[in-house]
């Protein structure tokens, strides 16, 4: 471990492969300890509706509400409070996010797998989706754009948004402004577990949705997991946000330090990992982190995140990429000289940022890619939010008499082999009918 100034960073040099699993472990988030509280709140919301949600808003967010819905007057007020410059930035980001996600539209293709047997898929939008936008230490108005923009492009009929109000009973104006830019239908003042319950079960005010999207603290994550067991789909499992920076001898330590800090300021449980082939870079990065950290308003949060950061020195780029794919980071920044070649070998990551001039913050806000991504190693199996996240794929098939003759005997044999005689018979009666018609 190396210590500079007031902040500690863990340096690991040339770890053996048998040490990697231990090295790459995330801090365990045990939601079992939260389950009793989460289940109680969810049950209360399920039975008590708006009244229960408002009671929990008073208890957890320290605000007394007369109604949950955001009014048109509040939306107009938010428009007046947000600066023209920020509105322009929101529109630019929305436009880029829209272009990128529109390019993901699914094209239906009919396939004749055998003469007379035609199959195809159709992408159908989820009719009603719920978006959760955290409040807390940072109003994530960018997440409104990331979740609502593809929902709108997908054709979701109703987009419901829940976000906690401040103690004045109002939602942050930039969140409301972003919601209007992105085309959100209905907005409600509700945070935490009570918001997830409201969207999962429905209340007098909040409609029940079919799928819930969005990040949140450990209580929100536990609530999403709980309601997904029986009541509603969710976007993905998620935990604290994380970044890995992959660097070599030519990497700019100022850029690398800035990237590590941009992740560390998210929250005290944020994950920060540097993997480098150059031992000399580590000291330079530590010095830069110390210098840049001193000027950050969220210095204390970043310091706590950096305390469990890891700066790992490996032997070569082959080892660096093997370690990276084992870690499966949510965000991966490749700041190496041969970044395009390295990128080709990445198989496990949520979103990848290439070259010295592509910080994670570009994707977090305005490049167009989505910032709602799998964490905690789930990038081995999950994608980030994309246009498909808001669709269901329905399959269709059509058989003509020629098609029945082409696959009917195989269906009969397979059904008989599974001892499902009614399945076999459904095909047999058609084959016999065709034979009769041909006589």
Span 11-22, pLDDT tens digits? 999 999 999 999
Question: Does 62 appear as a known binding residue?
Answer: no
Domain co-membership, 136 together with 165: yes
Task: Look at residues 368, 383, 408 and tell me which one is the last residue of a structural domain.
Answer: 368
Final residue of a structural domain among 223, 238, 253 = 238
pLDDT of amino acid 27: 73
CA 279 to chain centre: 34
pLDDT of residue 133: 97
Task: Say whether both 188 and 309 belong to one domain.
Answer: no
Residues 175 and 186 in one domain: yes
Is the residue at 335 inside a domain? yes
Catalytic residue among 74, 242, 288, 330: 330
Distances (CA, A) of 278 to 40, 178, 275, 298, 317: 51, 42, 9, 29, 10
Q: What is the pLDDT of residue 334?
A: 98
Residue 174: the pLDDT is: 96
Examine the domain organization and report whether 336 and 412 are in the same domain: no
Q: Is 309 in contact with 268 (CB distance < 8 Å)?
A: no
The helix (run of H) or strand (run of E) holding residue 129 is strand 128-132
Task: Scan for tokens 């994608």, then name that residue.
Answer: 383
Note whether residue 59 is domain-resident: yes
Which of 331, 335, 371, 391 is labelled catalytic?
331
State the average pLDDT over residues 298-321: 94
Is residue 305 located within the same domain as residue 157? Answer: no
Q: Does the annotation list 304 as a binding residue?
A: no
pLDDT band at 138 (very low <50, low <70, confident <90, very high): confident
Catalytic residue flag (residue 288): no
Same domain, 292 and 157: no
137: pLDDT confidence band, cut at 50, 70 and 90? low
* Whether pLDDT at 268 is above 90: no
Percent of the chain with pLDDT over 70: 97
Regarding whether 49 and 169 lie in a shared domain, the answer is yes
* Residue 332 φ/ψ, nearest 5 degrees: -125, 120
Q: What is the pLDDT of residue 6?
A: 45
Which residues span the domain enclosing 344? 2-29+239-368
Mean pLDDT (whole number) for 243-254? 98
Encoded tokens for 16 = 């053996």
Q: Is 241 annotated as a binding residue?
A: yes
218 annotated ligand binder: no
Kindly state whether residues 256 and 142 are assigned to the same domain. no
Domain edge (last residue) among 368, 390, 418: 368
The predicted structure's pLDDT at residue 92: 98
**What pLDDT digit, counting tens, does each position of 270-302 carry?**
889 999 999 999 999 999 999 999 999 999 999
- What pLDDT is stored for residue 218 in this prediction? 87
Find residue 33's DSSP bridge partners.
none
Q: Which residue's entry shows tokens 């990429």?
A: 321
pLDDT value of residue 26: 86
Into how many domains does the chain fold? 3
Residue 423 annotated in ligand binding? yes
Q: Is the pLDDT of residue 432 over 80?
A: yes
Residue 142 annotated as part of some ligand binding site: no
Q: What is the pLDDT of residue 5?
A: 41
User: What are 335-372's pLDDT values in tens digits?
Assistant: 999 999 999 999 999 999 999 999 999 999 999 999 99
Residue 308 among known ligand-binding residues: no
391 annotated active-site: no
Using the predicted structure, report yes or no on whether residue 127 has a pLDDT greater than 90.
yes
The pLDDT of residue 4 is above 60: no
Does 338 lie in the same domain as 260? Answer: yes
- Assess whether 340 and 362 both reside in one domain: yes
- Is the same domain home to 144 and 252? no
Pairing of strands 391-399, 117-125: antiparallel
Domain harbouring 142, CATH code: 3.40.50.1980
Residue pLDDT, tens place only, 22-76: 999 987 667 778 999 999 999 999 999 999 999 999 999 999 999 999 999 999 9
In a domain, 428, yes or no: yes
Average pLDDT rounded to a whole number, residues 322-333: 98
**Count of beta carbons in the 10 Å neighbourhood of residue 428:** 17
Q: For residue 306, give both structure tokens.
A: 């950096």
Q: What DSSP line would sit under 237-265, residue for residue?
A: ---S-EEEEEE-TTS-HHHHHHHHHHHHT
Rg, Å, the chain Cα set? 26
The alpha carbon torsion through 109, 111, 117, 118 (nearest 10 deg) reads 0
In a domain, 204, yes or no: yes
- The pTM assigned to this predicted structure is 0.94
- Is 364 known as a binding-site position? yes
Q: Please tell me whether 263 is known to bind a ligand.
A: yes
């Amino acid at each position: 471990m190396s210590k500079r100034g007031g902040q500690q960073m863990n340096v690991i040099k040339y770890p053996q492969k048998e040490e990697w699993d231990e090295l790459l472990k995330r801090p365990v988030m045990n939601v079992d300890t939260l389950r009793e509280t989460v289940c109680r709140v969810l049950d209360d919301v399920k039975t008590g509706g708006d009244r229960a949600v408002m009671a929990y808003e008073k208890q957890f967010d320290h605000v007394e509400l007369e109604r949950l819905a955001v009014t048109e007057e509040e939306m107009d007020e938010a428009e007046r409070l947000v600066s023209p410059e920020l509105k322009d930035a929101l529109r630019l980001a929305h436009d880029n996010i829209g272009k990128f996600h529109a390019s993901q539209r699914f094209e239906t293709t009919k396939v004749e797998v055998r003469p007379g047997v035609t199959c195809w898929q159709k992408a159908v939008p989820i009719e009603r989706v719920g978006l959760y936008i955290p409040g807390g230490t940072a109003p994530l108005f960018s997440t409104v754009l990331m979740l609502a923009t593809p929902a709108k492009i997908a054709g979701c009929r109703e987009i419901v948004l829940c976000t906690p109000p401040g103690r004045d009973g109002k939602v942050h104006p930039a969140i409301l402004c972003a919601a209007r830019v992105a085309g959100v239908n209905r907005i409600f003042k509700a945070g935490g577990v009570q918001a997830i319950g409201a969207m999962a079960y429905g209340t007098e005010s909040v409609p029940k949705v079919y799928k819930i999207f969005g990040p949140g603290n450990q209580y929100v994550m536990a609530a999403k997991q709980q309601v997904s067991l029986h009541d509603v789909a969710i976007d993905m499992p998620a935990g604290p946000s994380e970044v890995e920076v992959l660097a070599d001898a030519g990497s700019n330590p100022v850029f690398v330090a800035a990237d590590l800090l941009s992740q560390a300021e998210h929250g005290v449980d944020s994950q920060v990992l540097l993997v480098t082939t150059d031992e000399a870079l580590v000291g330079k990065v530590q010095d830069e982190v110390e210098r840049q950290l001193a000027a950050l308003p969220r210095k204390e949060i970043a310091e706590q995140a950096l305390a469990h950061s890891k700066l790992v020195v490996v032997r070569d780029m082959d080892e660096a990429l093997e370690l990276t794919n084992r870690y499966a980071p949510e965000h991966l920044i490749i700041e190496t000289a041969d970044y395009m070649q390295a990128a080709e070998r990445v198989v496990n990551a949520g979103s990848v940022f290439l070259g010295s001039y592509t910080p994670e913050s570009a994707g977090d806000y305005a490049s167009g890619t989505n910032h709602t991504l799998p964490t905690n190693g789930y990038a081995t199996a999950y994608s980030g939010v994309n246009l498909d996240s808001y669709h269901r794929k329905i399959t269709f098939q059509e058989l003509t008499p020629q098609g029945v003759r082409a696959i009917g005997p195989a269906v009969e044999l397979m059904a008989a082999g599974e001892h499902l005689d009614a399945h076999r018979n459904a095909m047999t009666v058609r084959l016999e009918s065709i034979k009769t018609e041909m006589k």
